[in-house]
Every structure is written in structure tokens, then in C-alpha cells.
Amino acid sequence: MKPWKQALIAGSAGASAALFLERRKAGGMLLAGVSLATLASEHPEKFQALYRKLPAYIGRGKRLLETAAQIGQQVSRLAERRG
């Protein structure tokens, strides 16, 4: 990878993180997109593989959130019994 691409990716990713920490979401999203687009232009085959696996990742995340919600409900029920 060319040095200017590395600098662009690192700079835009770092600036994106800084903007998110400052609660400036629009600028953070814009710079994150620049970083990802540059990275995707360098490795398109890896991004295609990730795109194909994305539904499975979303399904796993959904199950994880559902499990966490069920645990939270059980904890609140136990707290009501003790309280």
C-alpha cells in the first residue's frame, strides 16, 4: 500500500474517532466513510467477502441483544421480588 493511502486511512480514522468523542457525529461519519472507502479500494476482495457474511453477523448480533434483554428482564424480576 502506498504511503499516502496509509496516511489518508490513519488520518481520517483518527480524526473520525476524535470527532465522535467530541459528539460531532456527522463529521465523524464522513471521515469514517473516507477511511473505509480508501481501505476498500485497496482490498476489494476482502470487502466483498465481508459483504457476503454480513447477514450472519447481523443475525448473531441480534441473538446477542435478545439474550441480553432477557437477562435484564430476569434481573429486574428478581429485584422486584427482593424489594
pLDDT mean over 69-76: 95
Percent of the chain clearing pLDDT 70 (strictly above): 99
Question: Is the pLDDT score of 1 beyond 90?
Answer: no
pLDDT value of residue 37: 93
Q: Which distant-in-sequence residues (6+ apart) come within 8 Å of 27 by Cβ?
A: 16, 19
How far apart, in Å, are the Cα atoms of 8 and each of 16, 21, 31, 40, 79?
A: 12, 20, 10, 13, 51
Cα distance between residue 28 and residue 48, in whole Å: 24
Grid cell listed for 34 = 473516507
pTM over 0.85: no
Query: pLDDT tens for residues 8-47?
Result: 999 999 999 999 999 999 999 999 999 999 999 999 999 8
Q: Where are the domains of the chain?
A: 1-42, 44-83
